[in-house]
Structure 1
Amino acid sequence: MADVRSTKLKFKGDKTKKKRKREDGEGGSSSRRRRTDADDQGDETWVQPSQPAEIRGPTFIYHPSDPAPISVNFDATRNRIMLLPLADAGADDLLARTPGDIAQVWVTTRVSGATTVNLRTGTGEGKFLSCDKHGLVSADREARGPQEEWTPVVLADGMVAFMSVYEKYLAVDEVAGGQLQLRGDSETVGFAERFYVKVQSKYKREAHEEEKKKEGKLAEPSMDEANTNKIYQAWGAGKSVVSGVDSKDLKRARKEGRLAEKLLDQRSKLKSDRFC
């Protein structure tokens, strides 16, 4: 019997993550099962982004064209973008489709804090997807500029529209002979402008971790000296000893970025006066 090889697309440098075995049996908590399922999902599992910030790293872009869905490919040999039917298009659910060839994968990068992204080919020399003012879409530039910037818009149904720097949308267009090509001059978002996008789960988690770090930034130092002293004073027999410093001085110190230093100086002075 021939060995069955996995068709999951992997990239150089990615580590293979082993699945964790279930040890809690049927009686395990639902939260524990969800965590286990998340671990079993694997870093390379292809998932849909729920917000623009999650679109990063290896990216699979395809369109629900009729009669068969098509993927946005890059032909490195001919150095051009190709819209090709997905293999076995009717074999499974459209939402479950994943790339089967490196030519179907683009690499999404972004400048930290920016709302725009760059789409680079995952094969060949790495060219950026660009759109000029006439709506002509190509992938023949090795450097990024304004024409290589795209703003992803995640729609209510989970599909994604890509807006160029000219505030026009990327779309699938039918040309002479029934061939399909990409255009970037659509004014509105309709069927032709809506794409399914898949990213690898580890990059989606990375976006969530960055968001948590932003939300977890330290708040401004508290000016409630009495409560702060109750927590941190190790002297005064349990009494909260506060300074007589004017609140205006504290506000001025906070604006100047030296509130903590001001409070520390006042506590040191009080402690010195008490034990002298």
Structure 2
Amino acid sequence: MADYAAVKGGKLKLKGLKLKKSKKHKSHKRKHDGEPVEQKSDHKLDIQKHGGWWEVKKFSEIPSNVAIEVGDNCYITALDNGGIAVGTPRDEGDGPDPAEIFTLIKVSETKVAFKSGYGKYLSVESDGKVVGRSEAMGPREQFEPVFQDGKVALNGCNNCFVSCDDEGDIECVSRTAGRGEMVRLRSNANTERDPLEDIPKEERGSLKSSEINYVKKFQSFQDRRLRVSEVDKTQLKKAKKEGDFHETLLDRREKMKADRYCK
């Protein structure tokens, strides 16, 4: 048995047969313990958790449609009888229901008004109850979002902050903003800005295509022929850098004697 133990095990090798060496792929390497793993940011995870609805952090970001989150994944909802209450908790990954989405109107640089899906404005009654029965917008329909330290509270017309009572109804009765008065304004509006938004459509291609676009725009085409200047386009590159691109294009079109707006 000792003789068998001394024999080195392995694959059977035949004479004249060349075995290919296995290649090790770097992508299949196992990560060592303690090596940092790429994770989604808290902001992206929060958006994913709320079905694509991101949290508004400052007044200038507030869009025209918002949902008001109270607690965790619970939103203020409008009832068909004009009442305003806390809706049923949403499952993770779900956004607010249509009745929980309000149209926001910026009244001033600090105050807003909320309009429900039933076409009524939210207002504060004399007893502090928040309802959605107003046909028009007045002082009682105005709220002030107060942003501080990454949190927000809604101050009503009676200088009290929005919160919910034990029965789930919305009210404005507390003059101080504690934990129960903290809300989150959420929106699913697209925040990505088109990088070409400030560039005219005629100038979004190459210099050659830009000149052709302007020629098509202004040329009279009496003989159905497109006339574009054959002069070197180096001057166009220089003009674009110096800020007189349109004047240079006008001069080039003028020399073609086919521009209805040129001399």
TM-score by structure 1 length?
0.48
Question: Which structure would you say has the larger Rg?
Answer: 2
